[in-house]
Amino acid sequence: MTFKRMIHAVETHSGEPMRVITGGVPHIPGDTVYEQMRWLEANDDQLRQLMLREPRGYPPLCCNLVVPAKHPDAAAGYIIMEQVEYPVMSGGNTIAVATVLLETGMIPMQEPVTEFNLEAPAGLIGIRAECRDGKVTQVTFRNVPAFATHLDAIIDVPTLGKVTVDVAWGGMFYVIADVRQFEGLDIVPARAGDIARVSSLVLRAAQEQLEVEHPDYPGIGITISQLSGPTDSPGADWRNAVTVASGAVDFDDPSTWTGAIDRCPCGTGTCAKMAVLHAKGELGLDQPFRHEGMLGNVFTGHLVEEVDIAGRGGVVPTISGQAWIYGFSNYVLDPTDPFPHGFSVGDIWA
């Protein structure tokens, strides 16, 4: 039987489901992984839609495409795909890709520690993987520099009123709000719908009212939101819920006031939060920061270096966490399939 596409993937999760494509995608032009990402976005966005929309995908799913590295110091490259964008960096996805490359033998595993570089669209990401009995038990990655752009900014949010937020880059631009501003709202799975509603409104308001700029990525704005608060867990320092958009937010259309909660503690979101805490004098270098996700799982971050980013103070973070492989899949596209780009329905999608 002839198919229009056949894609091989490894299914992983850190709570958050993160698919890793290991075969079935032909050569992608570009001299860097960033250029390849831009080419894919402009010329073959069907791949992202096919993998992330129904029937092969669902709102919280992320996807990664493993590609040969372009940088001479990298062992492999990867392109990150999410529901509404191609992020230049993602922490949970980086942990997933490193785990897949090692546990499937695409990169030779050395026990007890394997070290190598990956090339993300954002550049070289250092990997230190702790390994035992053929399994990756923890991945620590050294991220691109993070920095805060707005501290304690006040925005006007329809239906919510004035909300105080921080904005920071951790590989994506996050708007971060303390959950205690919203009476009766806790970061627990049972309140996920309310968290997504509040977060989507805060995101849209921040996009309209707060300007951001990254010196290396002109045109990238605030694309993701984080509610943040204290935790009762002795194994964590802070708790968060990151909401990933599944479509555009329209203040006049309440059906769009939603999104998908990140099921893991969010690596780039943790980096952004650490950058904010450092800028406020609340987190020093080499101080562990244990960030808890909604499910109770934890990523541990450290700030290892202070840097200058186009005249702005920044920090270099590391994040440690674990991913688990739960399946191997072959996806195909039948030539007669009436939905060659997948589909979404308004019961669970924005």
Residues with catalytic roles: 90
Query: Do 260 and 243 contact (CB within 8 A), yes or no?
Result: yes
Alpha-carbon distance 343 to 15, whole Å?
24
Alpha-carbon distance 38 to 29, whole Å?
10
Query: What does the CA dihedral 37, 306, 74, 140 come to, rounded to 10 degrees?
Result: -100
Q: Establish how many alpha carbons lie within 13 A of residue 103's alpha carbon, considering only the half-sphere containing its beta carbon.
A: 27
Residue 13 amino acid letter? H
Alpha-carbon distance 88 to 85, whole Å?
9
Query: Do 124 and 179 contact (CB within 8 A), yes or no?
Result: no
Residue with tokens 């250092």: 126
For every residue of 278-305, DSSP letters joined together read: HHTTS--TT--EEEE-TTS-EEEEEEEE
